[in-house]
Amino acid sequence: MAKCWETRGCDEEMLSRCPHNIPGERCPADCHFAACHRPTHHVSMDPALVFRVDLDREHCMKDICQFCEFFLTNGPVIEELAEAEKEFEARKS
């Protein structure tokens, strides 16, 4: 599976003159060039996805990915947090 959320999309030349470029930080959602035009991109309005606690959001190169259904359903999971979430849900029921 393509890990598109791990691709920033700028080349070295663009990064060198980008006013938003803070090395190691994600491209901010207000950057015109950080907009996602991939066919897999759909902004999620589902709070259960947007507020998932077990996703490893460190893998996102762009802020916009954190609201994308594709990342929210396919992104890497922190196993310990996933287990804790399952236990929490089991206790609730």
Binders of ligand SF4 among residues 47 to 66 (CB under 6 A) are 62, 64-65
**Binding flags for ligand SF4, 6-45, as an x/- string (CB under 6 A):** ------------------------------x-x-xx----
Query: Residue 60 Cβ, how far from ligand SF4 at the closest point, in Å?
Result: 7
Rank residues 7 and 53 by Cβ distance to ligand SF4 and give the closer one. Answer: 7
CB-CB neighbours of 78 under 10 Å: 15
Minimal CA–CA distance to 72: which of 93, 33, 44, 92? 44
Minimal CA–CA distance to 26: which of 6, 12, 3, 47? 6
Look up residue 75 and give its DSSP letter.
S
Q: What's the CA gap between 62 and 10, in Å, rounded? A: 11
Count of chain residues binding ligand SF4 (CB under 6 A): 12
Binding site for ligand SF4 (CB under 6 A): 4-5, 36, 38, 40-41, 62, 64-65, 68, 70-71
